[in-house]
Amino acid sequence: MLEAEVNHRLGDFTLDVDMNLDALGVCAVFGPSGCGKTTLLKTIAGLLPAQGRIYFKGQCWQDQHTWVKPYQRSTGFVFQDNRLFPNLNVSGNLAFARQRAADGGIDYEDVIETLGVRPLLHRAVAKLSGGEAKRVAIARTLLSQPRLLLMDEPLNGLEQKSKQEILGYLRRLIRRFELPTLYVSHNIEEVARLCDQMLVMDSGRVIAHGDTATMLQSMNQSRDSDLDPLGAVVYTTVSAHRPEYSLTQLDLAGHSLYVPMQSELTEGQTMQLFLPARDIALATTEPRGLSIRNSLPGEVETLHDEANNRVRVAINVAGQMLFAQITRQASEALNLHRGQRVFALIKSVALD
């Protein structure tokens, strides 16, 4: 679907990428600051000329004979700084995108309703909060009818509540419109909650690529991993909604998990869930008489000693990996060892 073999030199930095993403979905471009994530997106969009070739869905955007201009590539770019027109109100910003867009399947009403933009339509851009401005910027980009969405750390600088809300909006919209997306971030929780795949970069090169769950498992089990926070992606199925408790019941290989109500999901739908290691406690016997309702039986796969008297524990739960970060004292008191049967305890509020 997206092939790129590009080389670009800027001062002492060189971008040297050769990638082939067959089924793009939502793919994170992940790595430390300065590794080339934004530069890669700009070369794909045609905003930064680079040597090499770029093909999207069989169409040549760039090679030694061809150069398709940025506005002809049908990409939508969400920048960190929103880039809304201050002389136009929200409605005017959205109209600007619609008037210049080709015909497409992204519906105006769907976008403004799902992103909660309708109450903002007559507001001046200067009167928007950070989260509101970001939602308007995303709406404007979607209304340009892109075939490929490029997002450059779109949640950077937002407070946690706004981040969680916008991630929810993005999940629904991207999947509804089946919009291939490259999502730049160095925040592992954002990546885990939104992205199907990860493209890991370092020093201008792609060093790894795979589905998000597998990539996180590999990183978490590496002794050199410095991810913060640690955590794992698991795949669950919606089994029921419990509105009387404002909870949704999920099924993970026959085991139930309860999360805050996800009313937009239907029974039988798959839900990608991020379980932070910091929010998982371990027990060696089946717990009783606890307020924590989520208890998953599993088996210790590995234990890695870490700094600050911590131990990283990998737990296999029905073929899916979870990670817990506990103190060395707790590990020794529980006498944890590989192959041991344990119970992973997870608070429902940690899964919001």
**Statement: residue 230 has pLDDT above 80:** no
pLDDT at 352: 65
pLDDT at 172 over 90: no
What gap in Å lies between CA 339 and CA 301, rounded to an integer? 6
Distance (Å, whole) CA 242 – CA 248: 6
Q: What are phi and psi of 205, to 5 degrees?
A: -125, 155
pLDDT confidence of residue 308: 83
User: 324 pLDDT exceeds 80?
Assistant: yes
In one-letter notation, the amino acid at residue 159 is E
In this predicted structure, the answer to whether residue 235 has a pLDDT above a threshold of 80 is: yes
- Residue 299 burial by Cβ neighbours in a 10 Å radius (0-12, 13-18, 19+): middle
Q: How confident is the model at residue 216 (pLDDT cuts 50, 70, 90)?
A: confident
Residue with the bigger pLDDT between 124 and 32: it is 124
Residue that the structure tokens 């061809």 belong to = 66
284-311 confidence digits (pLDDT tens): 999 888 888 899 999 999 998 888 899 9
Q: What pLDDT shows up at residue 307?
A: 80
**Mean pLDDT, rounded, for 1-21:** 92
Residue pair 252/297 in contact by the 8 Å Cβ criterion? no
When mean pLDDT is compared across 92-101, 126-135, 155-164, the lowest value belongs to 155-164
C-alpha triplet 55, 58, 63: angle, nearest 5°: 35
The one-letter amino acid code at 248 reads: T
Domains of the chain, earliest start first: 2-221 (3.40.50.300), 231-351 (2.40.50.100)
Residue in 27, 7, 9, 2 with CA at minimum distance from that of residue 17: 7
What kind and span of H or E run contains 55? strand 51-56
At 278, the pLDDT band (50, 70, 90 cuts) reads confident
The DSSP code sequence of 197-208 is EEEEEETTEEEE
The tokens for 183 are: 């999502």
Q: Does residue 242 contact residue 262 with C-beta atoms inside 8 Å?
A: no
122 CA to centre of own chain:
31
pLDDT reported for residue 223: 54
**C-alpha span between 298 and 312 (Å, rounded):** 15
Residue whose C-alpha is closest to residue 252's, from 295, 283, 198: 295
What pLDDT shows up at residue 226? 53
CA nearest to 171, candidates 129, 118, 213, 163: 163
Q: What is the pLDDT of residues 35-91, one digit of tens each?
A: 999 999 999 999 998 999 999 999 999 999 999 999 899 999 999 999 999 999 999
Residues 249 and 286: beta-carbon distance below 8 Å: no
